[in-house]
Structures are given as structure tokens and as C-alpha cells.
Structure 1
Amino acid sequence: MTLKPARTLWRDFPPVVIHSPEIAVKRHPDYRAAKSGDVQAAFSLVKATIAEPAVLKIRELVAGRQVILASAHAVERDGVNAIPEALADELSARLSLPVDEGLVQINIVGHTGANGFARLARPAAFDGEVISGASYFLVDDFVGQGGTLANLKGHIESNGGVVIGATVLAGKPFSAVLSPTREQLTALREKHGQTLETWWHERFGYGFDCLTQSEARYLERSPDADTIRSRLIEEE
């Protein structure tokens, strides 16, 4: 049965702050070990690829508010990905912000190297106590379609917190904007019809308004609604 992680509307969510190009991070000699849970390798990777302009951008977004850094604690097939927590700890030291260590991913999704349908079909789900009324800033190692960030944001906000932004160590620039445009959503609905969105809501627990921009783009470019449904079922 498909998990239904909570998602919330994007409103005026700012673009994800990206520190380094994907290729620079993945070619670092400590990347694979860090991805598999080696804490020292993760800190070595983060210190080599964190970017001061990105840190300054986060400082601007935080703007003196009391903000908690929330890392994804992503579970990979080879272990718990150590990169998000290492990045959160490094940002904590540079920005004097606390890190929430209680928010954890509770399933293995196998997103690394997966296609778009696999990422959509196997959503990351989170658990952990949220401080009601507190502001959070999300931290992850990579942004692709943005679903993991969307689901972590949804968990926090559905439990009373407020997410003001997100940062990742690596990603492509076009993945930084998470909120889909009105034009994208209109094109998606016109191409695939209301029946698909109704099915989507029943299966995943949210409508197209809560998709990321990359997810909406991926679905809009898919041939038809039947292809989307069958591919998602195949990839579960």
C-alpha cells in the first residue's frame, strides 16, 4: 500500500539554496562513503563543497529569526545517508542555529539513480516531534524532483511548524524552484484531466497544487493519464 506523506501548499516558498554543482559533489572521493553513512567522510565532503555565498543567502532568508535546521536523515539501501546531518551541523556552526535531530525518514525509498516515476511512486515519509509554532529550515544532500523536501515540509507544517526555506549540498539550478507555476498546473490538468488528479489524491493524499515544479513538469510531459497510472503502479 502506498504511503501518504502529508504535503502542504507552497505559497511563497523561496528557491532552494544550492551549494555546489551535482558533478562536483558526486566526484568527490568521500561521496560514496558519506552517502552510505560514514560521518567523517560526510564532514570532509561538506567542508570541501559548501559555498560561502550560499551560506550568506541562508543568513538572509533566516533574517535574524529563531530557526531550527531540520535535516532529512535519509535512509539509503546501504545505510543512513550522513550528508544531510553533516551539512546541517556545519551550517549550525556557521550560523549559530540549532539542529533538530529527532525528525527522521521512516522508510527506504531507493531514490538514488531512480527514474521520475520511481521517485513519485515511493515517497519518503517522516516521523518525529515538531515544535508547534517554530520556524524550520530544511537541509538535504540533493534536490532532484524535490519530493523529499516537499514531504519533510509537509510533516513539519501538518504538525504545527512553519518551514521558511531549504538548502541542499548539490542539485541542478532548474530543480531549485519547488513551487509549480499556475501555468504549469493548468497545462497538467488540461492534458490529463480531472480524473487523474482525483486518482492522484486518493493514492497519495494530496492534489496537484502540492506537487513540486519538477514533478508537475514530469507528469505534464508524460504521454497520457493511463501511462502515468500504470508506471506508478509498476514502480511501487
Structure 2
Amino acid sequence: MPHPPPPPRTPWGAFPDVLIHASESAVKQHPAYWAAKTGSGAAALALVNDTMSDQANQRLLNLMQGHVPTLVSAHAYEREGVNAIPEIFADELSKTLSWPVDNGVLQINAVGHTGADGFSRLARQARFAGAVQPGGEYVLVDDFIGMGGTLANLKGHIESNGGRVLAAVVLTGKPHSAKLALTPERLHELRTKHGTELEQWWIERFAHAFDALTESEARYLARTEGADTIRNRIAAGQQA
């Protein structure tokens, strides 16, 4: 059975930093977190109501001034069930901001990113399906940002189908992960470290060059000693 094509990615341009609502401790130590992560809508609602930030919402409104984008969430499949947090978070943002929400774009594979290392995240990438409004403007919503690959692939799905992604917002994540758009300095570091042969291999494997990586993905690869290590760890992660 042939493998499906890699999920698309699109150029970053001047993509703004992801808006993070709450600290990891506030979210992950919340009593409703695990139930929300494993499918409970009621638990997700309690978690979102306790950790959603009015200040972050105001920053998003300021960033989107003059636009009324559609909110679309990264419905993530976990080993334990469907993560209820992104969809509930999008619904609550919709009520607060008076923006429409589209629940029709769905993640269609299970990637097992929770607790996974960086190579496993790079190897097992989220795929999305669902109708996109051509010319429509979107804001991405997720519960957590780590290396940013899921948001990058959701952006790629929307933009390769004619939409435009203006921003992204998450409930929690590390502050340094907020920068999705790859900087020229990081791209130069990665290409200098590993050369053109690895980038060509990456294009054959993932159908995009290094310039479509997130800042965190590129930093992870640039800090890895040797192109052979990267190829072997990616191959192992895809077979897991």
C-alpha cells in the first residue's frame, strides 16, 4: 500500500509569533487537564475557562484589527483518545471575540506527540483534511505548542487550499516556541551545519526544503551532530 504524500507546508512570510494564554504549569497541573486531553468536553471547558487570558485575547484583537477571521482548531488524536481542548478553546474564543469557528477541518491521523522526543515529532507529522473557504482568513487554535509542526501543517493545509492564515493562538507552551516563522539566521545555521545533501534528502522525504521548517524544528536539527544521525532517527521515528 503506497504511503500518502507528505502534508503540505507553505511559506512563512511575516507570520506573527503565536499568542500563548497561560503557563504550562497552570494548564498541565489543572485538575481537569488529563480528562480534557483524553476526550472530556466538560473537563476541557473547565480548563479553558480557568486559563484563557483576557490580555491574550486583547492582543489577538489588536493584531487582527480590521479582520474577522475564522477560528480553526487542531483536533488532535492522542493514544488515549481525542484531545477535546483545541475545539473547546476555539469555541470559547469564538464566543468571546465574536468570530466564526469552523470545526470541519480535522486531523486525520494519530501521531502520538504527547511526551514524544523531537525526532518522533518530526517523523510523525499531523495530516489534515476538510473544506477551506477560498480567500478566507483564518486563525489557528491549539492547546499546546512545542516544535510547532502541527500548526505549520494545519497552516499548510489551509493555504494550499486557497485560504490565508493570519495568526495562531494556543492555551500553553514554552515562550521560545512562540516563534513559528523560521529566521534567516537559523536557516543559515542549519544549512551551514548539515549541507545541501541532507536538505535534498529532507525534500525527498517531506516534500519541502528547510525554509518551511519552524524555528524550533530548525534549531533542533541544527543542534544535532551529523546528518546521518538525523536520517537514522527520522527513519526510526517513522517506523515506530
TM above 0.5, yes or no, is yes
Report the counterpart of residue 185 of structure 2 in structure 1.
183
Report the counterpart of residue 128 of structure 2 in structure 1.
126
Offset at 1:2?
Answer: 7.0
Q: d(CA) in 1 for partners of 2:90 and 2:62?
A: 17
Q: d(CA) in 1 for partners of 2:178 and 2:216?
A: 9
Residue type matched to 1:193 in 2? Answer: G
Q: d(CA) in 2 for partners of 1:162 and 1:199?
A: 29
Provide Cα deviations, 1:125-161, integer angstroms capped at 9, x if missing partner. 0000000000000000000000000000000000000
Report the counterpart of residue 196 of structure 1 in structure 2.
198
* Count of matched residue pairs: 236
Q: d(CA) in 2 for partners of 1:165 and 1:12?
A: 10
Q: Secondary structure at the residue paired with 2:140? A: strand
Provide Cα deviations, 1:68-95, integer angstroms capped at 9, x if missing partner. 0000111111111110011101110010
Q: d(CA) in 2 for partners of 1:54 and 1:122?
A: 30
Unpaired segments of 5 or more residues in structure 1?
Answer: none
Report the counterpart of residue 135 of structure 1 in structure 2.
137
Report the counterpart of residue 17 of structure 1 in structure 2.
19
Q: d(CA) in 1 for partners of 2:32 and 2:68?
A: 33
TM-score normalised per structure 1: 0.98
Report the counterpart of residue 171 of structure 1 in structure 2.
173
Report the counterpart of residue 30 of structure 2 in structure 1.
28
Q: d(CA) in 2 for partners of 1:77 and 1:155?
A: 23
Report the counterpart of residue 108 of structure 1 in structure 2.
110
1:42 aligns with 2:44: yes
Structure 1 residue runs of 4+, over 3 Å off?
Answer: none
Please report the RMSD computed on the Cα atoms of aligned residues, expressed in angstroms.
0.8
Q: d(CA) in 2 for partners of 1:2 and 1:25?
A: 35
TM-score normalised per structure 2: 0.97
Offset at 1:66?
Answer: 2.3
Q: d(CA) in 2 for partners of 1:77 and 1:210?
A: 28
Unpaired segments of 5 or more residues in structure 2?
Answer: none
Report the counterpart of residue 89 of structure 1 in structure 2.
91
